[in-house]
Amino acid sequence: MRLRNIPGSREVIAESEFVIHDMEETRGKWADVFGNDHPIYIEVGMGKGRFITQLAIENPDKNFIGIEKYSSVLLRAIEKREELSDLTNLYFLRMDAEDLEKVFAPGEVQGIYLNFSDPWPKDRHAKRRLPSKEFLARYDRILVPEGKVEFKTDNKDLFDFALEQAKEANWDLEACTFDLHHNEEMMQGNIMTEYEERFSSQGNPICKMIISREKR
């Protein structure tokens, strides 16, 4: 998702109290930012932030961080976040997820959500796909040992790629469906993302996998 450049979005982000600006100094100190040691969950490539914002509303005993690389998209998430000023468990980061390890210390993250990640269809761009083994290695280094990565998409090629990459990188497949919206068990508590709503309303089945490396 890349919205038209919105004039002033960088300035709004720079001044937002909901965006962490001194990211690298915060590494290993996220409990101080939230003022508690509740587990931290991140969404990588959150887009306009509907999913992570709803998760934060529903789970006040957990902390959430939404990560997005484009200012114009993040701006939309901030606008919604501003209407929820009582919410204390949600912050945003404007960054490229390639730098996750500069921002999170080993074991600082409890769980990672990837929703409708960009497919990067050309083979030479495979490393940029968020469920690639290069990204799994980054996730491996910031997650707690029992941490999970949850990935949803309607893009079957990307999903097949993600399944292969997880296997190659020796992650365990804990759950998997090629039709989430007709899988009663995996649908429990499902929060729709913006893209999920759009593609499922067009009749596209949604795939979901949950992986961990607990049994390693």
Catalytic residues, by residue number, are 118
Q: Which is closer to ligand SAM, CB of 9 or CB of 193? A: 193
Q: Which is closer to ligand SAM, CB of 30 or CB of 135? A: 135
Q: Is 63 left (phi over 0), alpha (psi -120 to 50) or beta?
A: beta
Distances from the Cα of 106 to the Cαs of 68, 87, 109, 180, in angstroms?
21, 27, 8, 31
Provide, rounded to whole angstroms, the least separation between the CB of residue 195 and ligand SAM: 4
Provide, rounded to whole angstroms, the least separation between the CB of residue 216 and ligand SAM: 25
Among 30, 64, 91, 195, binds ligand SAM (CB under 6 A): 195
Among 89, 115, 165, 177, binds ligand SAM (CB under 6 A): 115
Q: Is 194 in the site for ligand SAM (CB under 6 A)?
A: yes
DSSP secondary-structure letter at 86? T
Q: Is 66 in the site for ligand SAM (CB under 6 A)?
A: no
Q: Is 51 left (phi over 0), alpha (psi -120 to 50) or beta?
A: alpha
Q: Is 47 in the site for ligand SAM (CB under 6 A)?
A: yes
Q: Is 181 in the site for ligand SAM (CB under 6 A)?
A: no
Going by C-alpha positions, the residue among 85, 100, 90 that lies closest to residue 34 is 90
Q: Is 46 in the site for ligand SAM (CB under 6 A)?
A: yes
Q: Which is closer to ligand SAM, CB of 11 or CB of 96? A: 96
CA 175 from centroid of its chain's CA atoms: 18
Three-state DSSP at 1 gives coil
CA 201 from centroid of its chain's CA atoms: 22
Q: Is 126 in the site for ligand SAM (CB under 6 A)?
A: no
Residues with Cβ within 8 Å of 8's Cβ and at least 6 positions away in sequence, in order, are: none
Provide, rounded to whole angstroms, the least separation between the CB of residue 215 and ligand SAM: 28
Q: Is 101 in the site for ligand SAM (CB under 6 A)?
A: no
Cα-Cα-Cα-Cα dihedral sign, residues 163, 164, 169, 173: positive
Q: Is 68 in the site for ligand SAM (CB under 6 A)?
A: yes
Using CB under 6 A, list all residues that contact ligand SAM.
1, 44-47, 67-70, 73, 96-98, 115-118, 130, 193-196
